[in-house]
């Protein structure tokens, strides 16, 4: 049993936020809402899917017959490149702060196959996704300070299209999460003379209890401050601050780490494990970004089974995050999950 199996709080050094850990609550009976399991019999090509090769999208654009990744400008993007005419008359009262926001939104289809999520792709196919992320990051970061690459997997996470895909949102303002991480990492470096996540990687590799997987270049860990039940942090072991710095070896190792992590996620409850994940990279307009370390956050909501999720409500919304499953227990469950996807006939090791 972990040494942390008692009620306590933990601080997230990247944001300054706290999480309440209450391991004993995981034993309480569950009579609340359950979620529907994701369908497991999707076709390889769906004629009604706007993301499949050759199909029409909502704006009457026809997708090419792509056979790898496919990127297009989001037909319903949350950001537009133009400044609205109304921006010249924005409110200046500090109680009603407002600023114009411009940018670009893109969609990245991971594969032409409608029924293949990341863990069901080969490492080489995931490497194509990594290369596509890198290409779009480099292109957009030349124009925008903040580039968010992310994926919402599963209907429970609000994903409106089952075809496996992610998104890229780029803008010049720093998003709230990036602002928090920017301030925290810079302050840590100024106080301690070292890189926050570099130090964190060293500590976790020595401790080992929360490490889920690692290879030569990447570490997957259930972070000490995790708020979601099976939350993980995927962080570079090397001094890499953004996608533009990735070498071929680092990109291939990243594809391997994603393959292992997402496969183990699916194998925890033998289901298509939903999550929201996103990459945090150094803002491109910094004169000095040495305090940054490239990393991704995975936030999966499932708690007890394929149909029972963690709800961030009540205390979580009005006070601070709270979790029932300790990060150490979650890491042990993920470490013990098989690296062979359950659809290939293998269950837990």
What distance in Å separates the CA atoms of residue 283 and residue 41, rounded to the nearest whole number? 41
Contacts of 332 (CB under 8 A, 6+ apart): none
Which neighbouring-strand residues pair with 296? Answer: 234, 279
Q: Is the pLDDT confidence value at 305 over 70?
A: yes
Q: Is the pLDDT confidence value at 10 over 90?
A: yes
**pLDDT tens digits, 308-345:** 888 899 999 999 999 999 999 999 999 999 999 999 97
**pLDDT tens digits, 268-283:** 999 999 999 999 999 9
Q: What percent of the chain has pLDDT over 90?
A: 78
pLDDT band at 59 (very low <50, low <70, confident <90, very high): confident
pLDDT band at 349 (very low <50, low <70, confident <90, very high): very low
Torsion of CA 157, 163, 166, 167, to 10 degrees: -100
pLDDT attached to residue 83: 76
Is 3 inside any structural domain? no
- Separation in Å, CA 19 to CA 15, 158, 205, 320: 11, 24, 23, 6
Which of the residues are catalytic?
165
- Between β-strands 321-323 and 211-214, what pairing exists: parallel, antiparallel or unpaired? unpaired
pLDDT band at 30 (very low <50, low <70, confident <90, very high): very low
**pLDDT tens digits, 151-191:** 999 988 888 789 999 999 999 999 999 999 999 999 999 99
Q: Which two tokens stand for residue 64?
A: 């090419």
pLDDT attached to residue 97: 85
pLDDT attached to residue 60: 87
The count of other CB atoms within 10 Å of the CB of residue 61 is 12
What distance in Å separates the CA atoms of residue 330 and residue 58, rounded to the nearest whole number? 41
What distance in Å separates the CA atoms of residue 162 and residue 154, rounded to the nearest whole number? 7
What's the structural domain count of the chain? 1
The count of other CB atoms within 10 Å of the CB of residue 330 is 22
* Range from 21-25, 49-53, 213-217 carrying the lowest mean pLDDT: 21-25
Average confidence (pLDDT) over 191-214: 98
Closest CA to 110 of 102, 118, 120, 122: 118
Is 349 inside any structural domain? no
Tell me the residue range of the domain where 254 lies: 10-82+96-342
- Highest average pLDDT, of 5-14, 32-41, 241-250, comes from 241-250
Is 88 inside any structural domain? no
Q: Is the pLDDT confidence value at 252 over 50?
A: yes
Is 137 inside any structural domain? yes
Is 347 inside any structural domain? no
What distance in Å separates the CA atoms of residue 204 and residue 46, rounded to the nearest whole number? 44
What distance in Å separates the CA atoms of residue 204 and residue 221, rounded to the nearest whole number? 8
* Range from 98-102, 112-116, 126-130 carrying the lowest mean pLDDT: 98-102
What distance in Å separates the CA atoms of residue 140 and residue 314, rounded to the nearest whole number? 38
Closest CA to 74 of 102, 107, 112: 107
pLDDT band at 17 (very low <50, low <70, confident <90, very high): very high
pLDDT attached to residue 31: 45
Query: Could you write out the three-class secondary structure of the chain?
Result: CCCCCCCEEEECCCCCCEEEECHHHHHCCCCCCCCCCCCCCCCCCCCCCCCCCCCECCCCCECCCCCCCEEEECCCCCCCCCCCHHHHHCCCCHHHCCCCCCEEEEEEECCCCCCCCHHHCCHHHHHHHHHHHHHHHHHHHCCCCEEEEEEEECHHHCCCCCCCEEEEEEECCCCHHHHHHHHHHHHHHHHHCCCHHHHHHHHHHHHCCCEEEECCCEEEECCCCCCCCCCEEEEECCCCCCHHHCCHHHHHHHHHHHHHHHHHHHHHHCCCCCEEEEEECCCCCCCCCCCCCCEEEEECCECCCCCCECCCCCHHHHCCEEECCCHHHHHHHHHHCCCCCHHHCCCCC
CATH number, residue 276:
3.30.428.10
336 near 348, Cβ under 8 Å? yes
**pLDDT tens digits, 281-299:** 999 999 999 999 999 999 9
Average confidence (pLDDT) over 4-21: 93
Is 90 inside any structural domain? no
Closest CA to 105 of 145, 48, 147, 53: 147
pLDDT attached to residue 41: 82
pLDDT attached to residue 91: 73
Q: Is the pLDDT confidence value at 131 over 50?
A: yes
Average confidence (pLDDT) over 122-127: 98
pLDDT attached to residue 118: 98
Is 5 inside any structural domain? no
pLDDT attached to residue 36: 62
Is 265 inside any structural domain? yes
């Amino acid at each position: 049993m972990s040494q942390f199996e008692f009620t306590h709080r933990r601080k997230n050094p990247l944001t300054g936020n706290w999480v309440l850990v209450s391991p004993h609550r995981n034993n309480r009976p569950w009579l609340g809402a359950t979620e529907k399991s994701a369908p497991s019999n999707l076709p390889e090509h769906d004629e009604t899917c706007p993301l499949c090769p050759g199909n029409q999208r909502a704006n009457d654009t026809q997708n090419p017959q792509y056979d790898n990744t496919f990127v297009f400008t989001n037909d319903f993007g949350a950001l537009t490149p133009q400044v609205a005419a109304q921006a010249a008359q924005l409110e200046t009262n500090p109680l009603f702060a407002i600023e114009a926001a411009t940018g670009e939104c893109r969609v990245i289809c991971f594969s032409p196959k409608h029924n293949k999520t990341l863990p069901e792709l080969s490492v080489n196919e995931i490497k194509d996704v990594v290369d596509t992320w890198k290409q779009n990051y480099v292109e957009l970061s030349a124009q925008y300070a903040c580039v968010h690459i992310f994926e919402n997997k599963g209907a429970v996470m609000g994903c409106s299209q089952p075809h496996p895909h992610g998104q890229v949102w780029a803008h010049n303002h720093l998003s709230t999460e990036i602002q928090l991480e920017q301030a925290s990492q810079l302050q840590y470096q100024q106080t301690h003379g070292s890189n926050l996540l570099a130090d964190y990687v060293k500590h976790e590799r020595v401790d080992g209890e929360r490490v889920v997987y690692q290879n030569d270049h990447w570490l997957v860990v259930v972070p000490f401050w995790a708020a979601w039940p099976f939350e993980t942090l995927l962080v570079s072991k090397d001094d890499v601050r953004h996608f533009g710095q990735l070498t071929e070896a680092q990109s291939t190792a990243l594809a391997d780490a994603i393959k292992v992590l997402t496969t183990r996620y699916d194998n925890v409850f033998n289901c298509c494990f939903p999550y929201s994940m996103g990459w945090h990279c150094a803002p491109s307009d910094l004169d000095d970004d040495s305090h940054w370390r490239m990393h991704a956050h995975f936030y999966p909501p499932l708690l007890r089974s394929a149909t029972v999720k963690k709800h961030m409500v009540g205390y979580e919304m009005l006070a601070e995050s709270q979790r029932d499953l300790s990060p150490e227990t979650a890491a042990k469950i993920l470490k013990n999950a098989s690296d062979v996807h359950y659809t290939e006939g293998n269950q837990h090791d």
